[in-house]
Homo-oligomer: A and B are copies of this chain.
Amino acid sequence: MRTIFTAEMSELADDLEAMAKHVKVAIDRANEALLTRNVELAQAVIAEDAELDRLEATVDERCVMLIAQQQPVSIDLRTIITSLRMSASLERMGDLAQHIAEVARRSYPESAVPEHFTQKFTDLAQAASEAAGALVELAKTRDLNTAAEIVEDDDNLDRLHSEIYGELVSDGYDGSHQETLNVALMARYYERFGDHAVSVSRRVVYLVTGDHSHDGGKI
């Protein structure tokens, strides 16, 4: 019984790592679709989000089965409940990558990013990609230094989001309403992406250290 349980717990960790990898691919493709006006790539991101939803359902089912059949306690129970929360955040990160791809697709053959904002969105794309990459690393290694990197990426996303909003309402700005709408929404998608990355990383820290003071007291 114990051996089956250990194998199941290891598969749970693999599933979460697979979800993190999927998110990394999705955000990288969404970034490229956005910055290079690649509508086929945008389409691919949108189509492949269903796979992430399927992975989330697998994780959730495995967690419920593990609790029901194995009645785990202490650290194992903590891992399972935390995994449930992580799968929800990773699924949401995939949705946000999908939303970015949708804006890119809707704007095609125009770019969804007005020329004036190219650098800011290049930086947003970079920070989001780094955060997703660090999540994959964290899922693999549980190295807590990686969690600190994710917080830094999130700080960059917050700063860029806030700078972009400042520009949108500044006197000099003269974009069209459609441009304003695209820029505002996408900046917000990136910003939320960073929030979820931090949330996942804090749960990993909690699992490794048992300390959830980094997570507002939440598991």
Contact = CB atoms under 8 A, between A and B. Distances in A.
A210 interface: no
Interface size bucket, A side? 20 to 34
Contact of A67 (B77, B165, B168, B175): B77
B217 A57 contact: yes
Contact of A77 (B64, B74, B180, B218): B64
Contact of A218 (B57, B71, B78): B57
Contacts of A68: 73-74, 77
A81 interface: yes
B178 A218 contact: no
A88 interface: yes
A178 B185 contact: no
Contacts of A77: 64, 67-68
A32 interface: no
A148 interface: no
A147 to B, nearest CB: 21
A217 to B, nearest CB: 5
A102 to B, nearest CB: 13
A184 interface: yes
A60 B219 contact: yes
Contacts of A178: 169
A85 B185 CA distance: 26
Nearest to A219: B60
Interface string A190-219: 000000000000000000000000001111
A57 B217 CA distance: 7
Given A56-B218, A60-B218, A168-B181, 8 more contacts: A57-B216, A64-B77, A68-B77, A81-B84, A173-B177, A180-B180, A181-B184, A185-B188
